[in-house]
């Protein structure tokens, strides 16, 4: 296996047959998360922690609609909602090969009618709806994690931690 790069500079694994595997790595606190897929993938994990300036950060880095959704929440709900928004956005950007914080406002998160996370709109892909899927991941107590995959998420396999 060798490590190559996509057009955006995102690393990928190549075997001797020129097959490519996308991977993404994230860590926070004492926990690390690795995702490997046959198509572009991104992951992010964050340790739940106090974020005293969460509203100011949301106004600075998130879209106005995302920030407005956070403004009405109490401090405990705000902390988790802010970090959940952050990991979803960062997972998507890692998958695309985008940059944090420059690209955080160039797309907006929403939820499907079933309450699942989705990309509501984006300036980072071709015109039309996003081709990417988002999913929150199981994480140890005190952590939040998310994965983004180009296309439909068919299966997620967890190794024991």
Mean per-residue pLDDT for 46-67? 94
Contact, 109 vs 88, CB < 8 A? Answer: yes
Count of H helices and E strands in the chain?
3, 9
Asked if residue 159 has pLDDT above 80, the reply is no
Instruction: Read off the pLDDT of residues 13-46 as tens digits, 9 standing for 90 and up.
Output: 777 666 788 999 999 999 999 999 989 999 999 9
**Can you identify the CATH homologous superfamily of domain 45-150?**
4'-phosphopantetheinyl transferase domain (3.90.470.20)
pTM of the model: 0.90
How far apart, in Å, are the Cα atoms of 124 and each of 37, 71, 105, 107, 143? Answer: 21, 26, 10, 7, 28
| Structural domain spans, the chain | 45-150
On the 0-12 / 13-18 / 19+ scale of CB atoms within 10 A, 128 is exposed
Instruction: Read off the pLDDT of residues 87-146 as tens digits, 9 standing for 90 and up.
Output: 999 999 999 987 778 889 999 999 988 889 999 999 999 888 899 999 999 999 999 999
What pLDDT, on the 0 to 100 scale, is given for residue 18?
67
Greater pLDDT, 144 or 8: 144
Asked if residue 60 has pLDDT above 90, the reply is yes
């Amino acid at each position: 296996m060798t490590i190559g790069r996509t057009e955006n500079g995102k690393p990928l694994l190549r075997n001797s047959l020129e097959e490519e595997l996308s991977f993404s790595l994230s860590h926070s606190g004492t926990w690390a998360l690795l995702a490997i897929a046959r198509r572009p993938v991104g992951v992010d994990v964050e340790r739940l922690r106090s974020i005293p300036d969460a509203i100011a950060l949301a106004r600075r880095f998130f879209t106005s609609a995302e920030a407005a959704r956070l403004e009405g929440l109490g401090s405990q709900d705000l902390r988790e909602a802010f970090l959940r928004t952050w990991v979803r956005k960062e997972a998507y950007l890692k998958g695309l090969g985008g940059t944090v914080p420059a690209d955080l406002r160039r797309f907006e998160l929403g939820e499907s009618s079933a309450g699942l996370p989705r990309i509501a709109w984006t300036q980072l892909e071709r015109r039309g709806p996003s081709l990417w899927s988002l999913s929150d991941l199981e994480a140890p107590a005190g952590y939040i994690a998310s994965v983004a995959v180009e296309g439909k998420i068919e299966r997620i396999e967890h190794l024991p931690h």
